[in-house]
Each structure stands twice: as structure tokens, then as C-alpha cells.
Structure 1
Amino acid sequence: MYLSKEAKQELFEKYGSGKNDTGSTEGQIALFTKRIAHISKHLKGNQKDFNSERALVSLVGKRRRLLDYLMKKDIMRYREIVKDLGLRK
């Protein structure tokens, strides 16, 4: 796997409320962002990998839905996570 268990825990610790808090919205958004970057890098060298392309589109949609939820729930947390991850919106 491209992301080890320790790397995931570090990611959740940085963006969630703890290393075992895998269900937090911010942690999930950060994980999806990491996976999107990994798949995008893969697709640059493998343009005809349509299964990975479909997975990428699915992940982007999931991340968008989580960001929309977070924006409705708490706008300050939304702005903070977008700024930290360097997302456009």
C-alpha cells in the first residue's frame, strides 16, 4: 500500500482530534486528498488506466460531499482545512 499505518495515524493526528480518530470529517478529507494526489500521479504515467481514473472521480466526489457537509456544519473548520490542505475552494 502506498500509505503505511503509521503515516495514516500521523495524518489523522494532524487533522483529526487524535491518531485513532479515523472518522472525523477533517481526517477523512485529508486522507482523500492524499489518495487523490497519489492516483493523479499514477495517471500521469498511465493514461489508459480507466479503472484508476474512475476511482479518482469517485474520490473527488466523496471529498466534495464531505467539504460541503463541513461548510454547512462549521464554516471555520471548513476554511481551516481548505487552507491547510491547499484546496482551491
Structure 2
Amino acid sequence: MSLAKETTAAIIGKFGANEKDTGNTNVQVALLTERIKEISAHCKQFKKDKTASHGIIKAVG
């Protein structure tokens, strides 16, 4: 599961210096946090989805 392009662009615009500033630490943390939130919501809805559970463990780790 990846973030939608609009979501990614909004996060980069909010936390980056410009729209191409994807390497900034604040941007990276914000993108990872949003991804973890989406996977967490998915895991709550689909409790038997072991692949998503494994993905969230990797993202948090």
C-alpha cells in the first residue's frame, strides 16, 4: 500500500521547503507516519490480513 499522489504532495508541501524537497527529515517522518496510520486503519478493518500486519511491523521497525 502506498500513499496517494495527492496525499504525498500535500505532505511534502506542508513539511518541505519546496515541492521537490522530499529528502528533508521532517518530510520523511511525516510520510512514514501517514503510511503507518493508513496501514493501521487497514489492519483494524481486516484483522486476518497478515501481509499488512507484516508491513506495519517493518514500517515501525
1:57 corresponds in structure 2 to 57
Instruction: Give the greater-gyration-radius structure (CA).
Output: 1
Number of residue pairs the alignment of both structures matches: 61
User: Which structure dedicates a bigger proportion of its chain to helix?
Assistant: 1
Q: Identity over aligned residues, as a percent?
A: 39
1:10 corresponds in structure 2 to 10
Larger RCO, structures 1/2 (Cα 8 Å, 6+ apart):
2
- Determine helix, strand or coil for the equivalent of 1:17: coil
1:48 corresponds in structure 2 to 48
Q: For the aligned residues, what is the CA RMSD?
A: 1.6
CA distance in 1, matches of 2:45, 2:56: 15
1:83 corresponds in structure 2 to none
TM-score relative to the length of structure 1: 0.60
- Determine helix, strand or coil for the equivalent of 2:21: coil
TM-score relative to the length of structure 2: 0.83
2:31 corresponds in structure 1 to 31
What whole-Å deviation, never above 9, does each CA across 1:32-74 have from its counterpart, x for those lacking one? Answer: 111101000000111111111111011112xxxxxxxxxxxxx
C-alpha contact (below 8 Å) 1:9/1:20 kept by paired residues? no
Structure 2 residue ranges without an equivalent (≥5): none
CA distance in 1, matches of 2:2, 2:54: 19
